[in-house]
Amino acid sequence: MSQQAQPLDVERLREDFPILQREFDGTQLVYLDNAATSQTPEPVIDAIGDYYREYNANVHRGIHQLSQEASVAYEEAHDRVAEFIGADGREEIVFTKNTTESMNLVAYAWGLNELGPGDEVVLTEMEHHASLVTWQQIAKRTGADCRYIPITDEGRLDMDAARELITDDTAMVSAVHVSNTLGTINPVGELADIAHDHGAYMFVDAAQSVPNRPVDVEALGADFLAFSGHKMCGPTGIGVLYGKQQILEEMEPYLYGGEMILKVTFEDSTWNELPWKYEAGTPLISQGIALAEACDYLDDVGMENVERHEAELAEYAHARLTEHDDVEVYGPPGDDRGGLVAFNLDGVHAHDLSSILNDSAVAIRAGDHCTQPLHEVLGATASARASFYLYNTREEVDRLVEAVDDARQLFA
């Protein structure tokens, strides 16, 4: 964690998020479901409104003024996102619908063409379904195999096993950076080094890291990296695929149609330059522009500060929840995790717990968090999960803990 991290002025920041003022039956909302989706600050909401009020037009096709304004803003949004994650430029930033689509893009455009019998895709036991199901199904179609790096009892990756599993047969290593269930921060840079030693590509699922900590694609050694706008103060309907320029140049397109072509005849077509080669049809214009605004917002707050704030809340929540030994918290110790805590209360199903918390206006997620195989490893069918963001407070963690106490008493 960076030495320069500053405490956040959370009360000030909360004013930017109108939804946080909502009350249910006179009780103020405590929103702790940020790993599912984050709330949206006024400047991002305004960016969407301004676009539709002032310069809504299709991009890259009109000579008229509105289309030119929209095109410039849309293109510059790619530059802004590139800067946010330390990419070389807009050529390496493809706008997609979400993390899931970014993964499918690579799995279809690269995997279907490049994988075959004898090839292996190495994943981790803590992958989100977005990556696990995608690679599993592409492997089935190509005759490749998926291998899974196991987790230790503490919920970390077993790196000795990783070094054995990644071999010259490995074509792709795809790992989640921060687990959305365990909160584990995985050594993806180390995995990338091992992958590269064996001539494999490294795909980083950064859905839970780019919103919550400084991420630099070059420092991580990622060949591909994916994340979603809606988890980082941006709108829904926008995701990002980062890809190294040379690899994106070599890969086949994923979707065909308008926008992504250079020249078309009845016989054949050639492809537009990067990143437009991967953005077929009318793209995510307002969403992309608003995502760039979200990057500005987060950089103003400071990603080191966001990281530290979340880590403190997670440590506090971990400590308070485990004051009672009928609570099992999954994942590594409280001071070494991303900003979320998944847990179970003895004898209470996570869905019931979540419903009781909802009665106190505390919003958490309950279920398998799209990590069913991981829950099987954990020996649980479901868990409750509180996930924090820059606008959450220790008092809100206290509200969570009080509501868990209510559930404990109700089911005692």
Asked whether the beta carbons of 401 and 342 are under 8 A apart, the reply is: no
Q: What is the largest CA-CA distance in the chain?
A: 73
Asked whether the beta carbons of 218 and 77 are under 8 A apart, the reply is: no
Is residue 105 a contact point for ligand 7TS (CB under 6 A)? Answer: no
Q: In Å, what is the CA distance from 14 to each residue of 9, 40, 41, 315?
A: 9, 11, 9, 21
Among 180, 287, 344, 392, binds ligand 7TS (CB under 6 A): 180
Q: Which of 239, 51, 43 is nearest to 130 (CA)?
A: 239
Q: Which of 213, 195, 241, 202 is nearest to 103 (CA)?
A: 241
Residue 38 or 142: which CB sits closer to ligand 7TS?
38
Residue 71 or 212: which CB sits closer to ligand 7TS?
212
Is residue 337 a contact point for ligand 7TS (CB under 6 A)? Answer: no
Asked whether the beta carbons of 401 and 321 are under 8 A apart, the reply is: yes
Is residue 185 a contact point for ligand 7TS (CB under 6 A)? Answer: no
Using the rule CB under 6 A, give the single segment among 24-32, 92-100, 250-258, 403-411 that binds ligand 7TS.
Answer: 92-100
Size of the site for ligand 7TS (CB under 6 A): 16
Binding-residue pattern over the window 8 to 47 for ligand 7TS, x denoting contact by CB under 6 A: ---------------------------xx-----------
Asked whether the beta carbons of 144 and 117 are under 8 A apart, the reply is: yes
* Single-letter residue type at 356: I
Residue 176 or 314: which CB sits closer to ligand 7TS?
176
Is residue 188 a contact point for ligand 7TS (CB under 6 A)? Answer: no
| Least distance from ligand 7TS to the Cβ atom of residue 357, Å | 16
Kindly identify the residues of this chain, within the stretch 277-336, that bind ligand 7TS according to CB under 6 A.
none
Among 98, 212, 286, 344, binds ligand 7TS (CB under 6 A): 98
| Least distance from ligand 7TS to the Cβ atom of residue 165, Å | 20
Q: Is residue 401 classed as helix, strand or coil in its secondary structure?
A: helix
Q: Please give the Cα distance from 120 to 35 (Å, whole number).
A: 30
Q: Please give the Cα distance from 15 to 39 (Å, whole number).
A: 12
Long-range contacts of 394-399 (CB under 8 A, 24+ apart): 394/313, 394/316, 396/30, 396/32, 396/362, 397/313, 397/316, 397/317, 397/320, 398/320, 399/30, 399/360, 399/362
DSSP string, 15-47: TT-GGGG-EETTEE-EE-BTTT-----HHHHHH
User: Could you tell me what percentage of the chain is helix, strand and coil, using 3-state DSSP and rounding each to the nearest 5?
Assistant: 45, 20, 40
| Least distance from ligand 7TS to the Cβ atom of residue 367, Å | 8
Residue 71 or 180: which CB sits closer to ligand 7TS?
180
* Active-site annotation holds for 233: no
Residue 59 or 105: which CB sits closer to ligand 7TS?
105
Binding-residue pattern over the window 189 to 228 for ligand 7TS, x denoting contact by CB under 6 A: ----------------x-xx-------------------x
Asked whether the beta carbons of 83 and 303 are under 8 A apart, the reply is: no
At 408, list the tokens: 């404990």
Residue 133 or 195: which CB sits closer to ligand 7TS?
133
| Least distance from ligand 7TS to the Cβ atom of residue 64, Å | 34
| Least distance from ligand 7TS to the Cβ atom of residue 129, Å | 8
Binding-residue pattern over the window 352 to 391 for ligand 7TS, x denoting contact by CB under 6 A: -------------x---xx---------------------
Positions in the binding site for ligand 7TS (CB under 6 A):
35-36, 98-100, 128, 130, 176, 180, 205, 207-208, 228, 365, 369-370
Q: Which residues are identified as catalytic?
A: 370
